[in-house]
Amino acid sequence: MTQLRLGDTAPDFEQKTSTGPIRFHEYLGDSWGVLFSHPADFTPVCTTELGYTAKLADEFAKRNVKVLALSVDGVDSHNQWINDINETQSTTVNFPIIADDDRKVAELYDMIHPNASATATVRSVFIIDPAKKIRLIITYPASTGRNFNEILRVIDSLQLTDSHSVATPVNWQDGDDVIIVPSLKDEAVIKEKFPKGYKAVRPYLRITPQPNK
């Protein structure tokens, strides 16, 4: 069984989806990706999750993120379920749902945890960057719906910290102050990178306004 870790290359695959066959890396192209799995079609928590994800289409688009869902049911089941999602959640599902009925992707990404369920995928989430590297892995139990606002928050943090020499503190939201990374010590470089200045709470804890705002 593959055990994926942060920084690993996300395994590529070809699989059927509700919008036709895809090759994963080709589908992502130069975008970020969110791959998230569901225990089964026609389940209540999943229905709310996919509906909410569809409503976030503009938020994902402005962050250059493509979304894919997955369960181990087939394409016909997915398409029938999408009708339910659209009707009950007052939205339109606008992303592919992978039909992983042969469990190829679930096995690649270790989405089936036998001690939780021998057949259903747990609620796995993977955030993948444009270099196809895995940047976040979260696993939820089947009974607990995910917080997609948190997933957007992490994407904001990753995209910010990739382009600036900062880290984001506890409960950070886009626009809040950030932390200058401890490895950056040259004061001339710091002044150039952070013209708004910073507050040194401790030598290792330097707070500065978000640099791209």
User: Domain for residue 90, yes or no?
Assistant: yes
β 65-71/32-37 pair status: parallel
pLDDT-based confidence at residue 2 (cuts at 50, 70, 90): low
User: Domain for residue 2, yes or no?
Assistant: no
Q: Which of 10, 34, 35, 46 is catalytic?
A: 46
Both 60 and 139 in one domain: the answer is: yes
119 pLDDT higher than 90: no
Both 107 and 29 in one domain: the answer is: yes
Against a cut of 0.85, is the pTM above it?
yes
Which has the closest alpha carbon to 109: 209, 12, 22, 200? 12
The arithmetic mean of pLDDT across residues 164-168, rounded, is 96
User: Domain for residue 213, yes or no?
Assistant: no
Is residue 10 flagged as an active site residue?
A: no
User: Domain for residue 156, yes or no?
Assistant: no
Give me the number of domains the chain comprises.
Answer: 2
Both 75 and 139 in one domain: the answer is: yes
Both 176 and 116 in one domain: the answer is: no
Q: Which CATH number fits the domain that encloses residue 36?
A: 3.40.30.10
191 pLDDT higher than 60: yes
The arithmetic mean of pLDDT across residues 173-181, rounded, is 96
- The model's pLDDT over 10-25, given as tens digits with 9 standing for 90+, comes to 999 999 999 999 999 9
Both 129 and 198 in one domain: the answer is: no
User: Which structural domain range is residue 188 located in?
Assistant: 164-208
User: Domain for residue 152, yes or no?
Assistant: no
User: Domain for residue 30, yes or no?
Assistant: yes
The DSSP secondary-structure symbol of 12 reads: P
pLDDT-based confidence at residue 122 (cuts at 50, 70, 90): low
User: Domain for residue 151, yes or no?
Assistant: no
38 pLDDT higher than 80: yes
For 166, the token pair is: 């900062």
